[in-house]
């Protein structure tokens, strides 16, 4: 079930109506849990047991951590939880990657080995809900969070359907306190949530799915296309992945908001970032802050000599790339961003490469380039980000080659054309995005009376449906 499907609207209508008609917080949580598991079961009910097992294990580990003060035992419980959670991801997402990579390495060393891959179905959202779960155990271990008393609370946090399959990655410390107190309907910003949902819907269903066929056509056989087509496809992909993922996040935040829960912001105009470091303050914020708090800082963070910090950045970004999937293309994508962050850090001598994203309110909007250096820095950032997207999207490394050549102004031999005029679509979308960035669309919809807003919303939704392409493309981040 996708947020943009009709059946989701019926599903959510039922969830919403029953949820707010229940008086007790516990009943509401049980209802949410049942609905969340149903939502997941619509994809594959067998993998529900994995989520349940993950929830039960971390509930148990949390309880054991609370029972003992012995540092050795506590560390043992934590390691057990991490091993099981990371082992789950490793098996489902990386088993085949490790096996084929090991076989290739052995063959390169002159020791050919016959290693068997498995036909594994990757559970949707495994990386997301495992990270939710791990954040709970680690925070309890660090004594930043009291362990939950009720398994329902933890299961509800891990399985909460708006964020279960594609984030944002919510920390236990952000969400569990919300589950403890009863939500009040009067506190729900219905107008804001509905507008956010519509915005996300437009981004995903109209824009991302609209450009997807062109991107798919190009990246299926990039060697057949002209250089201009390469530019069109790469820029379209930059648009697609942003609109797809931020659209999903907007809808997730809005859906949770309508049920009275607050999820963290995940995107803040990343393509207007002034530099690569700024980009990572604005792109997939929940993942970058998770990696910072649970990987980068434990590795040593910004402390120590420069090479040590650079090493920490590279490890974080390489693993961040690998988090997206078991393929060298993702590792290279992470590596490219790591290199850019290292170069930027060395260039600017900043001490705050990955600042506390919990303070993101301070970074609410980028100012935008104002000087020549600012424009150059912005262009370089966008170029590098798009360059890295080629590896992210390419089926494999050989398929990335022609796209890279096109994007680096090197000659290519392809003759098929996507239509260079499509760059105008990029410009038009960039202009709309810029208007949004300047705040042109913010808050005017709060002014009219509620019935007028409701009527306008109904009309707007009907108009938006006109612009949905004939087929839905699955959310890109579902595969992660």
Partner 1 sequence: MRCFLRSTPVTTAVLNRRTSSPVLNAITALAAFVCTCSALHAWLPFPQLPGVGPKLRFFAAHSDEFDTIFVGSSHIHYGVSPSAFDDVLAGAGMANHTFNFGADGMHPPEQFYVLEQILAMKPRKLKRVFLEMDNVEVTWLPAQPTSQRAVYWHDWKRTEIILRKILNLDVREPWQRKLRTARRWRETIALHLALFARNLGNVGRAFDLARSLRGGENTEWELGPNLDGYFPQMMNISQENAAAFENELAREISTGLKDVALDSYAAAAYRDHARQIRNAGATPVLIVTPVYPQFPSRFPEPMPCLLLAYNNPTLYPDFYRTDLRVDQHHLNGAAADKFTRLVATDFLKNGPRR
Active-site residue, 324 included: yes
Q: Binding segment for partner 1 among 107-115, 320-328, 434-442, 447-455 (CB under 8 A)?
A: 447-455
Of the residues 423, 457, 478, 479, which one makes contact with partner 1 according to CB under 8 A: 457
Site string for partner 1, 374-393 (x = CB under 8 A): --------------------
464 by DSSP, 3-state: which? helix
466 makes contact with partner 1 (CB under 8 A): yes
Least gap, CB of 464 to partner 1 (angstroms)? 10
Q: Judged by CB, which is closer to partner 1: 176, or 258?
A: 258
213 makes contact with partner 1 (CB under 8 A): no
Asked if 161 and 94 count as a contact pair (C-beta separation under 8 A), the reply is no
- With 0-12 / 13-18 / 19 or more C-beta atoms within 10 angstroms meaning exposed / middle / buried, residue 438 is exposed
Instruction: Name the residue among 78, 86, 118 with its Cα closest to residue 99.
Output: 118
C-alpha torsion 336→338→173→92, nearest 10: 50
- DSSP for 399-450, written as a single string: HHHHHHHHHTT------B---GGGHHHHHHHHHHHHHHHTTTTSSGGGSS-H
Least gap, CB of 450 to partner 1 (angstroms)? 5
Q: Which two tokens stand for residue 101?
A: 């990579």
461 makes contact with partner 1 (CB under 8 A): yes
Least gap, CB of 383 to partner 1 (angstroms)? 31
User: What is the rounded CA–CA span in Å between residue 64 and residue 349?
Assistant: 44
Q: Judged by CB, which is closer to partner 1: 111, or 466?
A: 466
Of the residues 5, 220, 352, 396, which one makes contact with partner 1 according to CB under 8 A: 5
Least gap, CB of 186 to partner 1 (angstroms)? 10
Asked if 231 and 383 count as a contact pair (C-beta separation under 8 A), the reply is no
User: What is the rounded CA–CA span in Å between residue 112 and residue 115?
Assistant: 9
Instruction: Name the residue among 328, 294, 327, 299 with its Cα closest to residue 314.
Output: 299
Least gap, CB of 105 to partner 1 (angstroms)? 43
3-state secondary structure string across 75-136? HHHHHHHHHHHHHHHHHHHHHHHHHHHHHHHHHHCCCCCCCCCCCCCCCCCHHHHHHHHHHH
| Count of Cβ atoms closer than 10 Å to residue 128 Cβ | 24
Q: Judged by CB, which is closer to partner 1: 213, or 368?
A: 213
Least gap, CB of 209 to partner 1 (angstroms)? 10
Site string for partner 1, 138-177 (x = CB under 8 A): ----------------------------------------
Q: Binding segment for partner 1 among 150-158, 276-284, 290-298, 464-472 (CB under 8 A)?
A: 464-472
456 makes contact with partner 1 (CB under 8 A): yes
Q: Judged by CB, which is closer to partner 1: 185, or 375?
A: 185
C-alpha torsion 172→173→179→183, nearest 10: -130
- The catalytic position among 132, 281, 284, 324 is 324
Of the residues 469, 477, 479, 480, which one makes contact with partner 1 according to CB under 8 A: 469
CA contacts within 13 A on the Cβ side of 425: 19
Q: Judged by CB, which is closer to partner 1: 412, or 425?
A: 425
Q: Binding segment for partner 1 among 65-73, 248-256, 394-402, 470-478 (CB under 8 A)?
A: 470-478
184 makes contact with partner 1 (CB under 8 A): no
Residues that bind partner 1 (CB under 8 A): 5-7, 185, 190, 447-451, 453-459, 461-463, 465-472
**Catalytically annotated residues:** 324
């Amino acid at each position: 079930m996708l947020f943009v499907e009709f059946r989701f609207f019926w599903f959510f209508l039922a969830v919403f109506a029953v949820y707010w008609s229940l008086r007790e917080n516990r009943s509401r949580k049980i209802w949410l849990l049942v609905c969340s598991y149903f939502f997941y079961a619509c994809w594959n009910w067998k993998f529900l047991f994995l989520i349940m097992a993950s929830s039960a294990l971390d509930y148990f580990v949390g309880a054991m951590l609370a029972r003992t003060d012995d540092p050795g035992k506590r560390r043992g419980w934590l390691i057990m939880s991490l091993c099981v959670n990371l082992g789950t991801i490793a098996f489902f997402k990386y088993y085949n990657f490790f096996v084929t990579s090991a076989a290739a390495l052995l063959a390169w060393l002159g020791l050919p080995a016959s290693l068997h891959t498995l036909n594994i179905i990757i559970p949707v959202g495994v990386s997301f809900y495992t990270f939710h779960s791990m954040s709970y155990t680690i925070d309890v271990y660090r004594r930043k969070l009291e362990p939950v008393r009720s398994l329902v609370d933890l299961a509800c946090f891990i399985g909460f359907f708006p964020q279960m399959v594609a984030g944002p990655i919510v920390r236990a410390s952000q969400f569990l306190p919300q589950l403890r107190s009863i939500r009040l309907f009067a506190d729900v910003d219905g107008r804001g949530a509905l507008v956010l949902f519509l915005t996300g819907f437009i981004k995903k269903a109209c824009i991302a799915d609209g450009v997807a066929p062109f991107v798919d056509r190009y990246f299926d056989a990039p060697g057949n296309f002209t250089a201009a087509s390469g530019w069109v496809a790469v820029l379209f992909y930059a648009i697609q992945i942003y609109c797809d993922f931020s659209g999903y996040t907007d809808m997730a935040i809005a859906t949770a908001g309508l049920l009275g829960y607050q999820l963290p912001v995940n995107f803040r105009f990343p393509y207007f970032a002034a530099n690569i470091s700024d980009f990572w303050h604005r792109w997939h914020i929940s993942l970058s802050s998770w990696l910072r708090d649970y990987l980068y800082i434990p590795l040593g963070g910004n402390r120590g000599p420069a090479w040590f910090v650079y090493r920490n950045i590279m490890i974080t970004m390489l693993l961040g790339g690998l988090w997206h999937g078991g393929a060298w293309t993702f590792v290279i994508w992470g590596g490219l961003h790591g290199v850019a962050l290292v170069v930027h850090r060395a260039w600017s001598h900043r001490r705050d490469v990955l600042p506390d994203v919990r303070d993101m309110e301070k970074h609410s909007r980028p100012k935008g380039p104002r000087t020549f250096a600012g424009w150059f820095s912005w262009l370089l950032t966008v170029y590098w980000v798009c360059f890295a997207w080629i590896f992210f999207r390419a089926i494999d490394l050989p398929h990335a080659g022609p796209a890279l050549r096109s994007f680096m102004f090197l000659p290519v031999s392809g003759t098929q054309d996507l239509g260079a005029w499509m760059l105008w679509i990029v410009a038009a979308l960039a202009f709309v995005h810029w208007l949004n960035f300047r705040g042109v669309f913010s808050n005017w919809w709060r002014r009219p009376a509620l019935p007028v807003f409701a009527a306008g919303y109904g009309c707007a939704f009907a108009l938006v449906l006109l612009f949905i392409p004939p087929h839905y493309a699955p959310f890109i981040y579902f595969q992660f």
